[in-house]
Amino acid sequence: MQNECKCNCNTADDPRYVELKAYIDSVKGNEGIAMSVLQEAQTIFGYLPLEVQKFISQNIDVPLAELYGVSTFYSQFTLTPRGKHHIGICLGTACYVRGAQKLVDKFVAELKIAVGETTEDGLFTLDATRCLGCCGLAPVIMIDEDVYGKLDDVDAIPGILDKYRG
């Protein structure tokens, strides 16, 4: 095989690598696939560790340096593992003028982590996100796929967090 993995990592048996390889094979030959392969890899692995980037580099013939450049440029890519639940506090303008900063402060106090960090138990990652486009519900947060709107009362937050702790 022309583009067989030549590194010594133990990827052949890992079903995640098999899945990624299958995706790469399905898009190979198209131009400019680096981004979509990285996106797919992040969906599969949850983040983009260096080994995964090396694997991609070898399989799509894009230098690792270039891939690393791409994966560190875009805010949606992460090189470190994330918590089980992802909390995104919308810091779009509408949310901001409606008091999103208070929500950030409350989450920081409740979880005892800074924005961008993951709790020690690996349960939550806290992020301030770009506009989620639900400006009518401002201020808005998103935990995984769930959207919580009109969060004017910061005291509602501990209760919301408890739902994910169970």
Partner 1 sequence: MNINELNELKGKALKDLTVSEGYRVVVGAASCGIAAGAKTVLATLQKEADAKGLKNINIVPAGCIGMCVYEPIVEVFAPGQDKVTYINVDAEKAAKIVAEHLAKGNQVPEYMIKDGAVRNLNEIQFYQKQKRVVLKNCGYINPEDINDYIALDGYQALAKVLTTMTSEETVELMKASGLRGRGGAGFPTGMKWSFAAKNVADQKYIICNADEGDPGAFMDRSVLEGDPHAVLEAMAIGGYAIGATKGFLYVRAEYPVAVHRLKIAIKQAKELGLMGKNILGSGFDFDVDIRLGAGAFVCGEETALIASIEGKRGMSRNKPPFPANKGLWGKPTVINNVETLANIPQIYLHGAEWFKSFGTEKSAGTKVFALGGKINNTGLVEIPMGITLREVIYDIGEGCPNGKAFKAVQTGGPSGGCITTADLDTPIDFDNLVAVGSMMGSGGMIVVDEDNCMVDIARFFLDFTVDESCGKCTPCREGTRRMLEILDKITLGKGTPKDLETLDELAANIRLTSLCALGQTAPNPVLSTMKHFKDEYEAHVFDKKCPAGVCQALLSIVITDDCKGCTKCVKVCPVDAITGKVKEKHVIDDSKCIKCGACIDACSFKAIIKK
Nearest distance, CB of residue 61 and partner 1, angstroms: 12
Nearest distance, CB of residue 13 and partner 1, angstroms: 29
Distance CA 147, CA 154 (A): 15
User: Among residues 36 and 120, whose Cβ is nearest to partner 1?
Assistant: 36
User: Among residues 49 and 123, whose Cβ is nearest to partner 1?
Assistant: 49
Q: Which of residues 85-124 bind partner 1 (CB under 8 A)?
A: 91-94, 96-98
* Number of amino acids touching partner 1 (CB under 8 A): 37
What distances in angstroms separate CA 129 from CA 31, 59, 66, 165, one per listed residue?
A: 30, 32, 26, 22
The pairs formed by 142-149 with CB atoms below 8 angstroms and a separation of 24 or more are 142/86, 142/87, 142/88, 142/90, 143/85, 143/86, 143/87, 143/88, 144/85, 144/86
User: Among residues 49 and 149, whose Cβ is nearest to partner 1?
Assistant: 149
Nearest distance, CB of residue 86 and partner 1, angstroms: 13
Q: Which of residues 122-151 bind partner 1 (CB under 8 A)?
A: 129-138, 140, 147, 149
Amino acid sitting at position 31? E
Site string for partner 1, 16-55 (x = CB under 8 A): ---------------xxxxxx-xx----------------
Q: Which residues of the chain form contacts with partner 1 (CB under 8 A)?
A: 31-36, 38-39, 62, 66, 69-70, 73-77, 91-94, 96-98, 129-138, 140, 147, 149
